[in-house]
Amino acid sequence: MHEGLLSLSDREFSLFQRLIFERAGISMGPAKRALIAGRLTKRLKALGLGSFADYHAYLTQRGNEGELQQAVDLLTTNETYFFREPKHFDFLREQILPKANTTRPLRIWSAACSSGEEVYTLAMVLAEHHAGAWEILGSDISQRVLAQARSAHYPIDRAEDIAPALLKKYCLKGIGAQQGSFLVDKPLRSKVRFESINLNEPLPRVGEFDVIFLRNVMIYFDMATKREVVERLVAQLRPGGYFIVSHSESLNGVTEILRVVSPSIYRKP
């Protein structure tokens, strides 16, 4: 395929802006043009297509849902790491867990869990500091990152923010062919589950939660999408439950149901 055909025209850019917004609720401005072209070029080559317009037409044909999911995976930013924004885990340990009801399992939802680091961070905190039963749901729209999350297998450099004692207790260091990686241990893995959930569509039956984490995803949504997503999630939050967003995000103007506990931490009355 000729290199000139890899350029993304204004019309093609608009097509993919609309596609990712309709599919994932993500608003991609002009600054994301190079990202779209760069991440999708290899799919055009793999399919032998001559332009991004041809690829868009292919994605919207019936029967090509698998390729559409792959395109969404490529365009969805999935940056995460263990113990990211640690003050939230401090709050969980110091404020939420000591007062938690232990007559039933404590339920936490990591609603944009990417490759699973947030879920396993939560699992380590609960295993260390919660006396009762607990369970964690991790969800994401991307099948690709969910596959890694379920594997619980990560490069060793991803462990740099895990305290040595926790790393020793809950992770297995790779040896031989697996050197340079680590695996979250099976007892911890058995307490978490992962589901493919699109937050921009009606939610499946997932039950009620005591804490919902929705961090570092709303920055990609416009205000209308933020309101719709938060409304869906808050409906799954128990009265008295906590809703936690990134330090760079706010629910100001997004919902009137939740009350601010501290910046980025909210509670349902």
Active site residues: 39, 140
Helix 10-24 to helix 52-59 angle (10° resolution) is: 30
Q: How far apart are CA 161 and CA 101, in angstroms?
A: 29
Please report, for residues 48, 92, 167, the alpha-carbon distance to residue 107 in angstroms, rounded to integers and kept in the order given. Answer: 46, 12, 23
Q: How far apart are CA 266 and CA 196, in angstroms?
A: 25
Please report, for residues 59, 118, 196, 250, 265, the alpha-carbon distance to residue 219 in angstroms, rounded to integers and kept in the order given. Answer: 26, 18, 20, 9, 16
| DSSP secondary structure string for all residues of 201-235 | SPPP----EEEEEE-S-GGGS-HHHHHHHHHHHHT
Other beta carbons within 10 Å of 158 = 15
